[in-house]
Chain A
Amino acid sequence: MFDDRSPIYLQIAEQIKNDIVTGALAEDEQVMSTNQYAAFYRINPATAAKGFAQLVDEGVLYKKRGIGMFVSPNARDLLRTGRRDSFFADVVDPMIREAKAIGIPLKDILQHIRTYGDA
């Protein structure tokens, strides 16, 4: 489930963000408690709590005292905006570097994007 190579609380936060971006977790929906999460994924409860705390700090989740944690009403927009900002640096630039290294002309890529995107 989690790999051993980066802090698990960051992996937890990423996983929940992904669920929100794809719509698997809806806005204002309750998320699992840290203890449920820890038991389900067999991880330390403090680690799960740290991942959740980070999402609260970022405004992705909010707390209802005594009830639990919920997805913020604007979380999906917030996350999509963040990912849009880094889309070219994270996704497009590495593709261009790879294309140059293996000799695919940029016009072929543009052609492919037009056909694939319209299909």
Chain B
Amino acid sequence: MTTALTVRTENLSVRFAGVPALDRLDLRLAPGKIHGLLGRNGSGKSTLAAVLAGFCRPDEGRVLIEGGDLGTAQEPYENAVVTSRVCLIRESGDRPDAVQVKQAIGLAAALRPYWDADLAGDLLDRFEVPLNKKIQKLSRGKKSALGVVLGLASRAPLTIFDESYLGMDVPSRNLFYDALLADYTEVPRTFVLSTHLVSEVSAMLEEVVILDNGRLVTQSPVDSLRGRGASIVGPAAAVDKFTAGFTVLAEERLGGTKSTTILGDLDPALLAQATAAGLEIGPVGLQDLFVHLTGARS
């Protein structure tokens, strides 16, 4: 029996000094999956993470968390039953700097109903985080590692990592990815990884949510996003003729040659037609698709 939680947002808006950080967001995060939350800096990723964890209150609409041992849907804000089951780890740490690592671990153990002390000890060893040091004395990488340990060992039915591993070097990040996948397999739960390092984490994700300017650009299984775009290269007139009717994400011209990036599935008949017209068809990677979907608009 899984404890994984489902998240819903309905018409969710959060504003800072009147400026919308999240703008009428309707979302559903299915339970027991690893979701990627992608967006450029300032797109609203961190605000969404904070409002899901009950760190701030929606200005409009609502967040509902349900499933697992929660039963009926509840709002997280000022709700200890929900917030003890939702773990948000942010890069900033959110931990008192003057306490020792072991005290921070003890606090988490007391607050988190699904805390796993063995896992915490094992991860602290593997990331080589010193137990007796004060948090303020840790390097940036070790602070991030401590965050990762707290996030994984909480075994929270909804665990959100908001860019919390950016301070770690590549071997430590790989250690984190391995630990996350191993523990996810053992205790399935709902994960949200917020990041702009798309290519590094994309293989670990099952679903992605892409935000831009506080709005939902798309939510989709990651495998159906991959290969959803195509680049068409060839003589400008032929490219234009072929791409008419498709959503165009980007266009580039070099002399008489044109390259157009489109959104949409190309069935075999269309592919044959393009080849016959002397056009080259290439796939668009997730990272590129992300850049095109959230890029500056003209």
Contacts from A to B (Cβ < 8 Å): 2-9, 35, 38-39, 41-47, 50
Contact = CB atoms under 8 A, between A and B. Distances in A.
A44 B36 CA distance: 12
Contact of A8 (B174, B181, B203): B203
Q: Which of B205, B223, B227 has the most CB of A within 10 A?
A: B223
A64 B130 CA distance: 46
Contacts, number: 58
Contacts of A3: 285
A39 B283 CA distance: 27
Given A5-B283, A5-B286, A44-B206, 5 more contacts: A6-B283, A9-B223, A42-B174, A44-B34, A47-B223
Nearest to B290: A4
A41 B178 CA distance: 10
A3 B205 CA distance: 14
A26 to B, nearest CB: 27
Contacts of B199: 4
5 contacts: A4-B285, A6-B226, A42-B203, A46-B33, A50-B223
Contacts of B227: 5-7
B224 interface: yes
A28 to B, nearest CB: 26
B223 A39 contact: no
B177 A42 contact: yes
A2 B203 contact: yes
Nearest to A51: B223
Contact of A43 (B33, B203, B224): B203
B185 A35 contact: yes
A4 B226 contact: yes
B226 A47 contact: no
